[in-house]
Amino acid sequence: MLSHFFLLHSSGARFKNRGFMIPFRIKVVEPIRFLSLKEREQKIGDAGLNVFRLKSSDVTIDLLTDSGTSAMSNAQWAAMMIGDEAYAGSTSFFKLEKTVQELMGLPFVIPTHQGRAAEQLLDFTLVKPGQMVPGNTHFDTTKAHIEFRGGRCVDCTIKEGKTPEGEHPFKGNLDIQTLETCLKKEGSEKIAYVLITMTCNSNGGQPVSLENIAAVAALCKKFKVKLFLDAARFAENAYFIQQREKGFYEKSIGEIVQRMFSFADGCTMSAKKDGLVPIGGFLALRDKILFETMKPHDILFEGFYTYGGMSGMDMEAMAQGLKEVIQKDYLEHRVGQVAYLGRRLKKGGVPVVEPFGGHAIFIDGREFYKNVPKDQFPAQLACVEIYKEGGVRGVEVGACLAGRDPDTGKNIMPALDLCRLAIPRRVYTQEHFDYVAEIVLGAHEKGKGRKTGLKFDQETPQGIRHFTSTFKYV
């Protein structure tokens, strides 16, 4: 199954040996700034060796995130001009609502300003202190919101999803046995809901199969618990299902998306990813009572329930983006572009998570710096050194991001310590990735004898520490 996928991608759908032709023309350009090595060393030092604290104008190729960094299409810009800015009952909201209903088959839509606001709304309503939310490696904001409500996350990702090697086609899958044991042990009163993140950002942008979604849904039904999807990268997930799962090659992305959501009670969505917009999100639900319960909370924290923190223009752009993101040529190019960078790095000997994910290439920090101790943040060090080498900004998804156990206060040591190079949608070209590959290979070569890493200078005491903490070299 997987070899078929790689065959398709390594030969390219349009060019033999050259990957994919970009399915768009570029109309607006943004200049890129190059700093000298001395300047970059100064900037990252001033930022406390934390790439989140850099100014974007000091970054040459910005792969910090694929969130809110997409280039919008001419159709999206045109749609923004007809944004209806009415406080209540905006026409743009009804357009967005209809798009979500048709795409995902979920009837009730609550707009929010971004994904974490949808998470906040969901967890405020569903999570009680002491309850569990089992899922496949929860994203950091997701986990933080659940814990903020006094809940706890249970990671049920399959064991193959916790190693950087191996060709498993759906490393985002949940281990059905582990989930069943958890549901049995806790009982339905102690389970707030089950969450599937697709693709699974924290373990390498790895997809979840339809077979697995169906099996999780069956268990949820059996134990009478709700199933939610974190849909931030739903289209990329659907593309992987089409390419890798038996019986779906002939199905359209739209049909696969319908099937994925048909199993769920609802979803949270960060439209900054597969909505192809700089800002926006929503919560979509199947249950009217739950919808009515959440509406007042949306009004209190986000805005009236027909805009939820977005402008009419934002909602127009999102409605259009949700249509563009399921186009096959777009997804083929998108996922192919990520794989192109992955192949270049792998060929140069850089240890990367495989199979390549949908939105990013993840470098295995512990292999990149073989001799740097695990508790000296090798992946964070890789981010710093890659920036120094050529102004390329990635981000750590590892021991720093994992934070501390909320009960014991001890540092969590995650299965994977990764430096993520996230690819903004429709922004960079193959030449940019050739540059990135050269820089990463250079940093890798220079770091080969390295034995020490980083320690905290000032650790942000609570919450999501990786955004703001500062570091020192050991």
CB of 13 to ligand PM9, least distance (A): 27
CB of 201 to ligand PM9, least distance (A): 4
In the residue annotation, 230 being an active-site residue is answered as yes
What is residue 279's three-state secondary structure? coil
C-beta of 232 vs 345, nearer to ligand PM9: 232
C-beta of 95 vs 393, nearer to ligand PM9: 393
Beta strands per DSSP E along 385-459: 392-393, 395-397, 418-422, 454-458
CB of 465 to ligand PM9, least distance (A): 13
Q: What is the dihedral of CA 196, 200, 206, 207, to 10 degrees?
A: 30
Q: Name which of 344, 367, 452, 371 is nearest 417 in CA terms.
A: 367
Contact criterion met (CB below 8 Å) for 312 and 81: no
Structure tokens at 204: 């390498």
C-beta of 372 vs 384, nearer to ligand PM9: 384
CB of 247 to ligand PM9, least distance (A): 27
Structure tokens at 310: 């977005």
In the residue annotation, 235 being an active-site residue is answered as no
C-beta of 49 vs 422, nearer to ligand PM9: 422
C-beta of 139 vs 170, nearer to ligand PM9: 139
CB of 66 to ligand PM9, least distance (A): 7
> Per the residue annotation, which of 34, 38, 55, 87 is the catalytic one?
87
> Per the residue annotation, which of 58, 175, 230, 298 is the catalytic one?
230
CB of 226 to ligand PM9, least distance (A): 18
- For residue 188, give Cα distances in angstroms to 57, 124, 180, 184, 211: 50, 18, 11, 8, 23
C-beta of 372 vs 386, nearer to ligand PM9: 386
Dist CA 322 CA 75 (whole Å) = 12
Dist CA 168 CA 355 (whole Å) = 7
Contact criterion met (CB below 8 Å) for 310 and 280: yes
Burial of 128 (0-12, 13-18, 19+ CB in 10 A): exposed
> Per the residue annotation, which of 273, 359, 432, 444 is the catalytic one?
273
Sheet holding 418-422, edge to edge: 360-364, 418-422, 395-397
CB of 420 to ligand PM9, least distance (A): 8
In the residue annotation, 139 being an active-site residue is answered as yes
Dist CA 185 CA 126 (whole Å) = 20
Burial of 88 (0-12, 13-18, 19+ CB in 10 A): exposed
CB of 170 to ligand PM9, least distance (A): 16
Contact criterion met (CB below 8 Å) for 396 and 379: yes
Contact criterion met (CB below 8 Å) for 198 and 137: no
Segment holding 472, helix H or strand E: strand 470-473
> Per the residue annotation, which of 66, 140, 274, 314 is the catalytic one?
140
Exposure on the CB side of residue 37, measured as CA atoms within 13 A? 5
Site residues (vs ligand PM9, CB under 6 A): 65, 67, 114-116, 139, 141-142, 197, 201, 230, 232, 270, 272, 281, 422
C-beta of 267 vs 290, nearer to ligand PM9: 267
CB of 141 to ligand PM9, least distance (A): 4
C-beta of 204 vs 447, nearer to ligand PM9: 204
In the residue annotation, 231 being an active-site residue is answered as no
In the residue annotation, 466 being an active-site residue is answered as yes
Residue nearest to ligand PM9 (CB): 115
C-beta of 248 vs 362, nearer to ligand PM9: 362
Beta strands per DSSP E along 227-383: 227-230, 266-270, 281-285, 360-364
- Which residue has tokens 């997809």? 207
Dist CA 213 CA 468 (whole Å) = 35
> Per the residue annotation, which of 5, 20, 93, 139 is the catalytic one?
139
Q: Which amino acid is at 463?
A: G
Contact criterion met (CB below 8 Å) for 261 and 229: yes
Residues classed as catalytic: 87, 139-140, 230, 232, 273, 466
